[in-house]
């Protein structure tokens, strides 16, 4: 039996849904699962975690309280030492990409990001390589093991356990050369791209940033997230946080709708594991047409508003 740490992310006082799949990945072989929660403003998350299969909840508080990646990483390292945790799983998310490398550096531990599966008994992580063309099983060695798990890589499976609660006040961190000037939370009620069940993305065919309103309206009607191709981001139409692809966010939704996207190798590498891919494009020879499950040849500016109208109750 191993002691496994799970770095839990909270947004708007609720556990981010992708955490539950990560916890499921750690089920089995009676491992002791420690949910590590940093500076949570509400204890309401404890009941939800108890139904997810964790055996222990470590409620970590830092001296400053506010977000600071150096201080938070230092606090997690101290908690791992206090509870004898040798393996840590976190999400491959913006927060995870900030914290996990810092934690690994402090522990002089190997780190693998964007894991699709993790074998905790053999310390083996499976990831994609060469723009998703191949899979690699990576064997880790050392005293500690750190994994960044891709959101939605594993569906969550509830497992009811009574979790012990352990408050942990982290000691003062060493002086940091990093100053957090401000934090700007995303819009309330929006769906995180990496965790979305449905994503509607736009590419060169959107023609401008203003035209992304068509996708936002449709996404709001279907409870989806809005993504984009690299071209749309490079043109400055949408922020980098929208980008799906090899150099953006890798996603695993149930449905991925590609609007005006040609389907480059770079983009396809970030969404190829979608359960269903739907393309809307005026070009019947676009690469995306040969890679999708369903396609519509037509103008997205005619098709998507009509889909929105139907979803909002406008009928056929």
Residue pLDDT, tens place only, 76-88: 999 999 999 999 9
Where are the domains positioned within the chain?
A: 3-169, 193-314
CA distances from 46 to 13, 15, 41, 93, 258 (A): 11, 10, 12, 22, 38
Q: What architecture is the 3-169 domain classified under in CATH?
A: 3-Layer(aba) Sandwich (3.40)
For the residues 223-233, what does the mean pLDDT come to? 96
Q: Do domains 3-169 and 193-314 have the same CATH topology?
A: yes
* Residue 316 scores a pLDDT above 70: no
Closest to 314 (Cα-Cα) out of 225, 221, 248, 228: 221
Annotated binding site: 204, 229-230, 243-247, 260-267, 281
For the residues 99-114, what does the mean pLDDT come to? 97
How high is the pLDDT of residue 12? 78
Annotated binding site for FAD: 204, 229-230, 243-247, 260-267, 281
For the residues 293-303, what does the mean pLDDT come to? 97
How high is the pLDDT of residue 186? 65
Average pLDDT, the chain: 92
- Which region among 32-36, 99-103, 191-195, 281-285 has the lowest average model confidence (pLDDT)? 191-195
* Residue 290 scores a pLDDT above 80: yes
* Residue 192 scores a pLDDT above 60: yes
Tell me which fold the domain 193-314 belongs to. Rossmann fold (3.40.50)
Report long-range pairs for 282-288 (Cβ below 8 Å, ≥24 apart).
282/205, 286/261, 286/262, 287/262, 287/263, 288/258, 288/261, 288/262, 288/263
- Which region among 7-21, 92-106, 176-190 has the lowest average model confidence (pLDDT)? 176-190
Q: Quote the pTM value.
A: 0.83
Q: How confident is the model at residue 187 (pLDDT cuts 50, 70, 90)?
A: low
Closest to 50 (Cα-Cα) out of 153, 165, 149, 156: 165
**Which secondary-structure segment (H or E) carries 255?**
strand 255-259
Beta bridge partners of 90: 148
CA distances from 228 to 204, 241, 253, 284 (A): 9, 9, 14, 20
């Amino acid at each position: 039996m191993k002691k496994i740490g799970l770095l839990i992310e909270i947004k708007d006082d609720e556990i981010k849904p992708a955490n539950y799949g990560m916890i499921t990945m750690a089920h089995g072989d009676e491992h002791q699962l420690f949910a590590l929660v940093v500076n949570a403003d509400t204890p309401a998350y404890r009941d939800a975690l108890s139904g997810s299969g964790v055996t222990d909840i470590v409620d970590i508080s830092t001296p400053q309280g506010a977000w600071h990646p150096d201080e938070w990483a230092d606090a997690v390292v101290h908690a791992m030492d206090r509870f004898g945790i040798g393996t840590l799983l976190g999400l491959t998310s913006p927060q995870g990409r900030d914290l996990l490398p810092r934690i690994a550096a402090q522990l002089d531990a190997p780190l693998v990001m964007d894991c699709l599966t993790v074998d905790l008994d053999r310390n083996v992580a499976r990831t994609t390589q060469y723009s998703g063309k191949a899979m690699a099983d990576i064997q880790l060695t050392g005293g500690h093991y750190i994994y960044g798990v891709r959101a939605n890589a594993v569906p969550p499976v509830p497992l009811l356990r009574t979790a012990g609660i352990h408050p942990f006040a982290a000691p003062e961190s060493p002086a940091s050369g990093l100053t957090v000037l401000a934090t700007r939370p995303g819009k309330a009620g929006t769906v995180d791209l990496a965790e979305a069940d449905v994503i509607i993305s736009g590419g060169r065919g959107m023609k401008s940033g203003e035209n992304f309103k068509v996708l936002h309206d449709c996404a709001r009607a279907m409870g989806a997230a809005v993504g984009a191709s690299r071209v749309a981001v490079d043109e400055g139409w949408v922020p980098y946080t929208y980008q799906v692809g090899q150099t953006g966010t890798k996603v695993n939704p149930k449905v991925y709708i590609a609007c005006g996207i040609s389907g480059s190798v770079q983009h396809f590498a970030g969404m190829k594991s979608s359960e269903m891919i739907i393309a809307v494009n005026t070009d019947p020879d676009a690469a995306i047409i040969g890679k999708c499950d369903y396609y519509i040849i037509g103008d997205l500016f005619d098709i998507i508003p009509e889909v929105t109208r139907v979803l909002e109750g406008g009928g056929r």
